[in-house]
C-alpha cells in the first residue's frame, strides 16, 4: 500500500491534535508574577480611629492596600485561617469581620454582640470564637460562613443571688479543639470542648477578677492575670481535675500599688531559658518566674507600668511597652542578664509590637505619631517606617500556626 504524501500526513496530524484537545481542559495562561503572591509574609495593621486595616508585606516593608468598613476598632485583634489568606478581625462594637488579604476586601462581616474584646480560632481552623463584654459570654462561628454554631452565655449568680452575665476575657485556643476563657465578674475559668459531639463546658473557680490570660506555647498551662489581687491563676490543661492553682501570690506585698492607667496584656507570652516574664499590675516591674515550680525568681525595674512583655523568637530579648503617661518608649531586656540593654523611642503612644516569624525584625506601632517603625533586632536600629492612621495592633499571618495567638 502506497504511503500518504507529506501534505496528507500533515492533515492527519492536525486532525489528531484537534480531536485530542477537544477532550482536554484548556488552561488559562498563568498570571504575571507581580500579581501572584503567597500569604506567608503578609499581615494586618489596625487603624483604630478610622475602622480600617492595612494589608502589609513584611519582607518588603510595604503597604499593599487599605480595607475599610470594619466598624469600631478602638480595641481590636486578629486571628488567621490555616492558609493565612483570611484574617478574622474582632472589633470593639461586636463586629466579626473576615478580611481577604489577597483580594484586599471584606469577605464576610457580622455584628454578633454589643461589645467584644477578642477571639480565637480552633486548632483545626473550623471555628472562630468571640469573647464578649455585652452581653457576657462566648459565641462560636463557622470560620467559612460566619454562621453561629454555639452560644455560651457567661451566666452566674451575683452577690445578691440574682442571675447575671459576666464579661469574658483571655479567650485562647487550646489543643484538642478546645477554647479556654476567663470570667471577669464571677472569678472563674471555663473550657469549651468543640471536639465533642455536643460542645461541652467545664467550669473552674479562679482568683479575683481575672482580666487577661495566656497559654504556654505547648498548650498545657492557661494562666490568667488577676486585677483583684496580686497573683495569677493557673489551670493545667493536661490535668484539669486538679483545678486552678495560684502562682506568684502576693508579688506586690510591702509595695505601694500605683494607679493602673492601662491593663497589661498577657497574650504576648514571654518565655526564655526556662523562665517566664510577666507584667506586674500597678507596679513598674517585670516579674520573672521559674517554670519548674512557678516561684518568683526576680523583679526587673522598668521605666513605667508594663503593658506588653514579649520575648523575641530566639528568646534572647524581652521587649516591653508601657502604659500612659510613659508610653512613648520601648525597653529591651537581655533575658540572661535581666538588664535593660536599650531604650527606644518609636513615637508617641506606642501600642503594639510584633516580631517577624524568625525574629530578625520587630514592628512597633505609635498611634499619635501615625506611623509604624521596623527595628532590626540585632542592631536595635530602625530599618523602615510606614505611614498609618492611628495604628494600634499589628498581626502577621505567622500567627496562623501558633497556639494561643
CATH code at position 118: 2.130.10.10
Q: Left if phi > 0, otherwise alpha if psi is -120 to 50, otherwise beta: which for 380?
A: left
Q: Can you tell me the distance from the alpha carbon of 250 to that of 326, in angstroms, rounded to the nearest whole number?
A: 25
Where would I find the beta strands (DSSP E) of 123-229?
127-134, 137-142, 148-153, 155-157, 163-165, 168-174, 178-183, 188-193, 200-205, 210-215, 221-226
Q: Burial, 275: exposed, middle or buried (Cβ in 10 Å; 0-12, 13-18, 19+)?
A: buried
284 belongs to a structural domain: no
Joined grid coordinates for residue 176: 484538642
What local confidence, expressed as pLDDT, does residue 317 receive? 95
Q: Residue 129 phi/psi, 5° resolution?
A: -110, 145
Q: Left if phi > 0, otherwise alpha if psi is -120 to 50, otherwise beta: which for 271?
A: beta
Q: Can you tell me the distance from the alpha carbon of 164 to that of 399, in angstroms, rounded to the nearest whole number?
A: 34
Joined grid coordinates for residue 175: 489543643
What local confidence, expressed as pLDDT, does residue 260 receive? 54
CA distances from 62 to 46, 102, 292, 351 (A): 15, 14, 42, 20
141 belongs to a structural domain: yes
What local confidence, expressed as pLDDT, does residue 282 receive? 80
pLDDT in tens, 277-308: 988 878 899 999 998 898 999 999 999 999 99
What local confidence, expressed as pLDDT, does residue 272 receive? 77
pLDDT in tens, 321-341: 999 999 999 999 999 999 999
387 belongs to a structural domain: no
**Considering its fold, how many domains does the chain have in total?**
1
Contact (CB, 8 A) for 248 and 294: yes
Report the 10 Å Cβ neighbour count for 373: 21
What local confidence, expressed as pLDDT, does residue 14 receive? 53
CA distances from 73 to 30, 47, 121, 132, 349 (A): 38, 7, 19, 14, 16
CA distances from 235 to 52, 207, 219, 291 (A): 36, 11, 11, 14
50 belongs to a structural domain: no
239 belongs to a structural domain: yes
CA 211 to the chain's CA centroid: 16
CA distances from 285 to 105, 280, 302, 334 (A): 42, 6, 5, 15
Report the 10 Å Cβ neighbour count for 80: 27
135 belongs to a structural domain: yes
Helix (H) or strand (E) holding 150: strand 148-153
209 belongs to a structural domain: yes
233 belongs to a structural domain: yes
Q: Can you tell me the distance from the alpha carbon of 371 to that of 213, in angstroms, rounded to the nearest whole number?
A: 28
pTM: 0.88
pLDDT in tens, 186-222: 999 999 999 988 999 999 999 999 988 989 888 999 9
* 3-state SS class at 401: helix
Q: Can you tell me the distance from the alpha carbon of 319 to that of 308, in angstroms, rounded to the nearest whole number?
A: 8
With a cut of 50, list the residues of the chain below it in pLDDT.
1, 8, 12, 15-28, 31, 33-34, 254
Domain span at residue 157 reads 112-247
Amino acid at each position: 500500500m502506497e504511503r500518504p504524501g507529506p501534505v496528507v500526513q500533515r492533515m492527519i496530524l492536525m486532525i489528531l491534535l484537534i480531536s485530542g484537545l477537544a477532550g482536554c481542559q484548556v488552561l488559562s495562561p498563568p498570571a504575571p508574577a507581580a500579581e501572584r503572591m503567597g500569604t506567608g509574609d503578609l499581615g494586618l495593621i489596625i487603624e483604630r480611629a478610622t475602622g480600617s486595616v492595612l494589608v502589609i508585606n513584611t519582607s518588603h516593608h510595604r503597604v499593599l492596600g487599605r480595607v475599610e468598613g470594619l466598624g469600631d476598632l478602638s480595641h481590636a485583634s486578629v486571628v488567621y485561617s490555616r492558609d493565612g489568606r483570611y484574617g478574622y478581625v474582632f472589633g470593639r462594637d461586636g463586629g466579626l469581620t473576615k478580611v481577604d488579604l489577597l483580594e484586599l476586601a471584606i469577605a464576610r462581616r457580622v455584628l454578633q454582640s454589643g461589645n467584644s474584646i477578642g477571639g480565637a480560632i480552633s486548632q483545626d481552623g473550623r471555628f472562630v470564637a468571640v469573647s464578649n463584654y455585652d452581653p457576657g459570654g462566648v459565641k462560636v462561628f463557622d470560620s467559612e460562613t460566619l454562621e453561629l454554631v454555639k452560644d455560651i452565655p457567661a451566666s452566674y449568680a451575683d452577690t445578691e443571688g440574682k442571675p447575671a452575665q459576666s464579661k469574658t476575657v483571655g479567650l485562647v485556643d487550646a489543643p484538642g479543639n478546645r477554647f479556654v476563657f476567663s470570667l471577669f465578674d464571677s472569678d472563674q475559668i471555663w473550657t469549651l470542648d468543640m471536639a465533642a459531639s455536643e460542645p461541652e463546658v467545664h467550669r473552674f473557680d479562679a482568683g479575683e477578677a481575672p482580666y487577661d490570660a495566656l497559654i504556654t506555647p505547648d498548650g498545657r498551662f492557661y494562666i490568667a492575670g488577676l486585677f483583684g489581687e496580686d497573683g495569677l491563676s493557673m489551670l493545667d490543661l493536661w490535668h484539669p481535675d486538679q483545678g486552678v492553682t495560684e502562682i506568684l501570690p502576693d508579688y506586690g506585698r510591702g509595695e505601694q500599688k500605683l494607679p493602673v492607667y492601662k491593663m497589661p496584656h498577657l497574650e504576648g507570652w514571654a518565655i526564655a531559658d526556662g523562665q517566664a516574664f510577666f507584667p506586674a499590675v500597678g507596679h513598674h516591674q517585670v516579674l520573672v518566674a521559674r517554670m519548674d515550680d512557678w516561684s518568683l525568681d526576680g523583679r526587673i525595674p522598668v521605666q513605667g507600668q508594663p503593658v506588653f512583655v514579649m520575648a523575641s523568637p530566639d528568646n534572647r530579648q524581652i521587649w516591653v511597652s508601657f502604659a500612659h503617661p510613659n508610653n512613648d518608649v520601648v525597653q529591651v531586656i537581655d533575658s540572661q542578664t535581666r538588664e535593660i540593654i536599650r531604650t527606644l523611642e518609636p513615637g508617641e503612644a506606642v501600642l503594639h509590637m510584633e516580631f517577624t516569624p524568625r525574629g530578625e525584625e520587630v514592628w512597633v506601632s505609635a498611634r499619635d505619631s501615625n506611623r509604624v517603625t521596623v527595628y532590626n533586632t540585632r542592631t536595635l536600629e530602625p530599618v523602615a517606617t510606614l505611614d498609618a492612621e492611628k495604628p494600634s495592633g499589628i498581626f502577621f499571618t505567622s500567627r496562623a500556626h501558633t497556639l494561643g495567638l
